[in-house]
Amino acid sequence: MSSDYEFSDDDNEYYDGMDMDDDEDVEEQDDDSGISEEEMDIELARGGLTSAGKRKACEVDFDTVTQDAVEALIRRDVEHISSIFGVSEDVASLLLRHMEWNKERLIEKYMDTPTEISVKAGVTVTPPRPPSPPPSGRLASIRSKSSALVAKRTTRRSAAESASRSKVVTEPLVQPETTICQICFDDEQSEMNALSCGHKFCVDCWAAFIRGKIREEGEINIRCMASECSLIAPDSFIRTVLSGDDDTIKRHQELIVRHYVSCNKNLKFCPYPGCTYTVSCPSAASKSALTTIVPTVHCGASENHIFCFGCSIDADHRPVICPVAKLWLKKCQDDSETANWIKSNTKECSKCQSTIEKNGGCNHMTCKKCKYEFCWVCMGPWSEHGTSWYNCNRYDESSGVEARDAQARSRASLERYLHYYNRWANHEQSAKLSVDLYAKTEKKMEEMQITSNLTWIEVQFAKKAVDEVFKCRMTLKWTYAMAYYLEKGNQKELFEDNQRDLERAVEDLSELLESPIEAENIPKLRQQITDKTVYVHKRNEIMLEDTAQGFLEGRWKWNVDVEGF
């Protein structure tokens, strides 16, 4: 234990509840001196500021951008290009989309080779070409759309060419002079429409085709229906053809916004289903930035729309940085180690050997058969955990040093991995079981309203406690991924001290939440849970803040190469 470390409470002090002079510590207070629920709310809601009022190191600056605002950015670019090139906004939009909204590069290229770029962007057809018969529509087409298999494409080109030679053998489906739509052959269809290539089809076929591309395939660039034509339908054409179908037009607009956002490194679209908000976070736009910050952001639609700006590994994988989280996940996904994960989810009672599964969020297990009480993590008797809890979070690395031959070394490395893995998976599993805990807690809250005279508002503390437990388990989970890659030494020990303090507090709170309700102990339980919730919240902040601070100071050293991401 490091007593000089400002955030660490000494073990004994913790358990004796003596450390009352430290205002960060709210442990084990008597009912009457406990904090009120309003105070709890203030603590939990302190947002992006530390108690000292400065910006937290574990939070990044970001802005939320509405879809309207992104559309305004798009309009600005389109109008700009339209005015300097002297083209319609339809054309400007197609050109920009083709160049992935990189205005500067578009201007450069367009000045150089305007025709080439216009053809590639699907704005115009390949110019001088002797008037060829209208599209035969019989040929296997080679689309310029990037295909993974180049070889395949060349094969098909020759296939198409030979197909064109055998064309004469069969009747043409398309008769040049006809006014009947060559797709539906419905002679009652009179209204025909075409892009500038002149490939005419009836409006119903156009609408069905465009609607399918947008809704089913999420395409923003919709090519002409003729099989060898690479012209792309401009937005005004889409709006005309789909007139009345505002839903699909809106969806197309949304897809364009998403495309624009995905082409801009400073922007990310909110990944929550149905959400249309964008987050801007320039400080996390470079890969190198991701080695020192964890850009956990949320969109403007909801505080719950939390996601990582740097990766899609987990919504909030603080405190560990994206590249290390990714490294860890990759390791876990390795087949050979998957089996070990399975092992860690069922265990045998160390007394009677019957198989047990973890089915609650708390680590305090009781064997159904023999009533033996033990710790799920270390399998040691629960009775000893009052004082020896920290044996549970820190793997004794010295045991690895003893290993001499290669076999023993590999076994030691597997055991070392499993140590972190089991704890990582355990918090994951416990967090998932919070669903059950929510349900149970809700029941308890009802019970409390009946047996005591607490109001609905007054029992909300229990729900807040469950929220906090869930949040902290997510933190704890990722601290194990981080600790696995941290180089041995003082810094790692300090990290694990914080980790242990948080873990112990979370387990205590989980235990309290699962304790039985009796009418006479409700006020006491309520106070205990409220106090513990605030304490857990603080421990979590300390864990996150100190780790983030450590990244900025370059305090964390890895036992693997982390630069190469």
Interface contacts to other proteins, rule CB under 8 A: 135, 137-143, 145, 147-149, 152-153, 155-156, 158-163, 166-167, 169-171, 173-174, 182-186, 201, 204-205, 208-209, 212, 216, 225-227, 314, 329, 332-333, 335, 338-339, 342, 345-346, 357-358, 428, 431-435, 470
Q: From CA 424, how far away is CA 78, in angstroms rounded? A: 49
11, 24, 8, 22: which is closest to 498 by C-alpha?
8
Contact in structure between 62 and 270 (CB atoms under 8 Å): no
Closer Cβ to other proteins, 125 or 542, answer by number:
125
Residue number, 184 or 403, with CB nearest to other proteins: 184
Report the alpha-carbon distance of residue 360 to residue 514 in Å, rounded.
9
Report, in Å, the least distance between residue 110 CB and other proteins.
27
Question: Which of 270/529 has CB closer to Zn ion?
Answer: 270
Cβ at position 65, least distance to other proteins in Å? 25
255 binds, among other proteins, Zn ion, none (CB under 5 to 8 A by kind): none
The least distance separating Zn ion from the CB of residue 375, rounded to whole angstroms, comes to 3
Rounded Cα distance between 380 and 392, Å, is 9
Residue 232 Ramachandran class (φ > 0 left, ψ -120 to 50 alpha, else beta):
beta
Give me the least distance between CB of 145 and other proteins, in Å please.
Answer: 6
Question: Cβ closer to Zn ion: 270 or 481?
Answer: 270
* Residue 383's binding partner out of Zn ion, other proteins, none, with CB under 5 to 8 Å set by partner kind: none
Residue number, 23 or 188, with CB nearest to other proteins: 188
Shortest distance, CB of residue 120 to Zn ion, whole angstroms? 16
> Contacts from 550-558 at CB under 8 Å and sequence distance 24+?
550/491, 550/495, 551/57, 551/291, 551/292, 551/293, 551/294, 551/321, 552/57, 552/292, 555/491, 556/482, 556/486, 556/491, 556/495, 557/486, 557/487, 557/489, 557/491, 558/324, 558/485, 558/486, 558/487
Q: How far apart, in whole angstroms, are the C-alpha atoms of residue 386 and residue 374?
A: 12
Residue 308 contact, options Zn ion, other proteins, none, Cβ 5-8 Å cut-off depending on partner type: Zn ion
8 Å CB contact between 231 and 91: no
204/235 with CB nearer other proteins: 204
Please give the distance of CA 443 from its chain centroid, rounded to a whole number.
31
Smaller CB separation from Zn ion, 269 or 470: 269
Backbone angles phi, psi at 128, to 5 degrees: -40, 115
Instruction: Kindly give, in sequence order, each residue whose CB lies less than 8 Å from that of residue 303, ignoring residues fewer than 6 positions away.
Output: none
Minimum distance of Zn ion from residue 348's CB (angstroms): 8
301 contact choice in other proteins, Zn ion, none (CB below 5 to 8 Å, kind-dependent): Zn ion
Rounded to an integer, what distance in angstroms lies between the CA atom of residue 501 and that of residue 223?
60
* Residue 377 binding target from other proteins, Zn ion, none, CB below 5 to 8 Å by type: Zn ion
Residue 111: name its binding partner from Zn ion, other proteins, none (Cβ under 5 to 8 Å by kind). Answer: none
Query: Out of other proteins, Zn ion, none, which partner does residue 369 contact, by CB within 5 to 8 A per kind?
Result: Zn ion
Task: Identify which of 504, 494, 481, 506 has the alpha carbon closest to the alpha carbon of residue 560.
Answer: 481
- Minimum CB–partner distance for residue 465 and other proteins (Å): 16
Q: Is 554 left (phi over 0), alpha (psi -120 to 50) or beta?
A: left
Nearer to other proteins, 369 or 432 (CB): 432
Closest approach of Cβ 275 to Zn ion, in Å? 3
- Give dist(CA 143, CA 152) in Å, integer: 12
Name which of other proteins, Zn ion, none residue 45 binds, using a CB cut-off of 5 to 8 Å depending on partner kind: none
- Contact footprint for Zn ion (CB under 5 A): 181, 183-184, 197, 199, 202, 205, 224, 226, 229, 231, 270, 272, 275, 277, 299, 301, 305, 308, 310-311, 322, 349, 351-352, 367, 369-370, 372, 375, 377-378, 392
Among Zn ion, other proteins, none, the one that 329 touches (CB under a kind-dependent 5 to 8 A) is other proteins
Rank residues 102 and 136 by Cβ distance to Zn ion and give the closer one. 136
Q: State the minimum distance, in angstroms, from the CB of residue 105 to Zn ion.
A: 27
DSSP structure string for 252-298? HHHHHHHHHHHT-TTEEE--STT---EEE-GGG-STGGGGT---EEE
The partner in contact with residue 139, picked from Zn ion, other proteins, none with C-beta cut-offs of 5 to 8 angstroms by kind, is: other proteins
Q: Which is nearer to other proteins, 159 or 560 (CB)?
A: 159
Q: Kindly write down the DSSP assignment for every residue of 379-420, as one continuous string.
A: --BGGGHHHHGGGGT---THHHHH--SHHHHHHHHHHHHHHH
The burial class, CB within 10 Å (0-12 / 13-18 / 19+), for 152 is exposed
How far apart are CB 342 and other proteins at their closest, in Å? Answer: 6
From the candidates 322, 362, 375, 472, which is the catalytic residue?
A: 362
Q: Which residue in 476, 530, 539 sits closest to 505, CA to CA? A: 539
For residue 347, what are the contacts with CB-CB under 8 A and spacing of at least 6?
A: 355, 356, 358, 376, 379
| 349 in catalytic set | no
Q: Which residues of 287-322 are buried (b: 16+ CB within 10 A; e: fewer)?
A: eebbbebbbbbbbbeeeebbbbbbbebbebbbbbbb
Active site residues: 362
